[in-house]
């Protein structure tokens, strides 16, 4: 999917919501555990109930890898279900990969070619030659961790390197990578006050912003400091939406939570025009 197609979807749906499919068998409604593939059964119902309210889904691969081959098969079924039934949806494999060049190429093939995701999250720590193999894929997006939502972000990301915070170095250096037009960045919703300075470095790039809901980030603050003229934001909530209910009507409860966020996003989008 191109960035222009993503922006068009945002305006059409009046939403820049990304729903995180972080499926934990200990948290899903008990009746689904009788299903042959409980993870996929859960995802299918969540997707069918919420697809009109969001523009993206983000399965975090940890929640699939934890269940071995069955988990990976559930991930494969989920992305196929999305690509077949809702091709307008932007898909994010939250895998946080990145390695030496030839290994990164294989990771890129796994997520962009085999699974056919639109994007994948990547850790920048190994530098240019670990990121560029992902950027070589046309109309696929590489979402680089910049300033993360967790407390540990302050261990390294905000430390000064050559007089500048490390996360700013990541933003500035990566702008010169080959294929940089395919870059997006992760900035945690819990760090909204940093967004004005981030926008000075990358005025238009799309940001994946996790951390509203369960981690306490504030949607209005993220929009105030982070929205660009092309919106430039995908705001993710995982647990706050998918575990809103635990009974037979869990998907309706998830849709109610998604609708609350979508309505706030609609108000923010109206401020742009």
Ligand X SMILES: O=C(O)c1cc(=O)[nH]c(=O)n1[C@@H]1O[C@H](COP(=O)(O)O)[C@@H](O)[C@H]1O
Active-site residues: which are they? 96
Distance CA 269, CA 273 (A): 7
Binding residue for ligand X (CB under 6 A) from 43, 148, 169, 262?
A: 148
Task: Select the span of 9-17, 36-44, 142-150, 227-235 touching ligand X (CB under 6 A).
Answer: 142-150
Which is nearer to ligand X, 8 or 259 (by Cβ)?
Answer: 259
**Contact status: 240 vs ligand X (CB under 6 A):** yes
Among 130, 149, 182, 262, binds ligand X (CB under 6 A): 149
Nearer to ligand X, 24 or 99 (CB): 24
Tell me, residue by residue from 4 to 33, as one string, x for binding to ligand X by CB under 6 A and - for no binding.
Answer: ----------------x-x-----------
List residues bridging with 121 in a β-sheet: 143
Determine contact, residues 249/266, Cβ cutoff 8 Å: no
Closer residue to ligand X, CB minimum distance, 43 or 238 = 238
Q: Which stretch binds ligand X (CB under 6 A): 64-72, 75-83, 97-105, 145-153?
A: 145-153
In the complex with ligand X, the residue whose CB is nearer, 38 or 210, is 210
Q: What is the smallest separation between the CB atom of 102 and ligand X, expressed in angstroms?
A: 24
C-beta of residue 22 within 8 angstroms of C-beta of residue 239: yes
Per-residue HEC secondary structure of the chain comes to CCHHHHHHHHHHHCCCEEEECCCCCCCCCHHHHHCCCHHHHHHHHHHHHHHHHCCEEECECHHHHCCHHHHHHHHHHHHHHHHHHCCCCEEEEEEEECCCHHHHHHHHHHHHHHCCCCEEEECCCCCHHHHHHHHCCCCCEEEEEEECCCCCHHHHCCCEECCEEHHHHHHHHHCCCCCHHHEEEEECHHHHHHHHHHHHHCCCCCEEEECECCCCECHHHHHHHHCECCECEEEEECHHHHCCCCCCCHHHHHHHHHHHHHHHHHHHHHHHC
Q: How far is the CB of 177 from ligand X (least distance, A)?
A: 19
Shortest distance in whole angstroms from residue 212 CB to ligand X: 7
Contact 39, 25 (CB under 8 A): yes
CB 36, min distance to ligand X, A: 25
Size of the site for ligand X (CB under 6 A): 20
Determine, following the binding rule CB under 6 A, whether residue 188 of this chain makes contact with ligand X.
yes
Q: Which residue has the tokens 């170095």?
A: 169
Residue 121 interacts with ligand X (CB under 6 A)? yes
Residue span binding ligand X (CB under 6 A) among the ranges 7-15, 71-79, 147-155, 221-229: 147-155
The verdict on 59 binding ligand X (CB under 6 A) reads no
Determine which residue in the list 3, 60, 130, 182 makes contact with ligand X, applying CB under 6 A. Answer: 60
The CA-to-CA distance between both ends of the chain, in Å, stands at 24
x/- letters, 198..237, toward ligand X (CB under 6 A): ------------xx-xxx--------------------xx
Residues interacting with ligand X, by CB under 6 A?
20, 22, 60, 94, 121, 148-150, 186, 188, 210-211, 213-215, 236-240
């Amino acid at each position: 999917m191109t960035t222009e197609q993503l922006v068009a979807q945002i305006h059409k749906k009046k939403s820049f919501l990304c729903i995180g499919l972080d499926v934990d068998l200990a948290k899903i409604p008990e009746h689904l555990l009788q299903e042959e593939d409980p993870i996929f059964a859960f995802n299918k119902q969540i997707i069918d109930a919420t697809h009109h309210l969001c523009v993206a889904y983000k399965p975090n691969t940890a929640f699939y890898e934890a269940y071995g081959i069955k988990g990976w098969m559930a991930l494969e079924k989920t992305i196929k279900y999305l690509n077949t039934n809702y091709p307008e949806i932007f898909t994010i494999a939250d895998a946080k990969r990145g390695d030496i060049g030839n290994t990164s190429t294989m990771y890129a093939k796994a997520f962009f070619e085999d699974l056919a995701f639109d994007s994948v999250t990547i850790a920048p720590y190994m530098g240019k030659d670990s990121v560029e193999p992902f950027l070589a894929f046309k109309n696929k997006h590489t979402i680089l961790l910049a300033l993360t939502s967790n407390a540990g972000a302050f261990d390294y990301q905000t430390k000064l390197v050559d007089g500048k915070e490390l996360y700013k170095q990541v933003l500035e250096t990566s702008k010169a990578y080959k294929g940089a037009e395919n870059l997006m960045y992760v900035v945690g919703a819990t760090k909204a006050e940093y967004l004005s300075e981030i926008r000075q470095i990358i005025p238009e790039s799309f940001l994946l912003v996790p951390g509203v809901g369960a981690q306490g980030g504030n949607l209005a603050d993220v929009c105030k400091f982070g929205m660009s003229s092309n919106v430039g934001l995908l705001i993710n909530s995982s647990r706050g939406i998918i575990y809103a209910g635990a009974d037979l009507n869990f998907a309706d409860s998830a849709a109610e939570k998604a609708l609350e966020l979508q309505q706030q996003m609609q108000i923010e989008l109206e401020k742009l025009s």
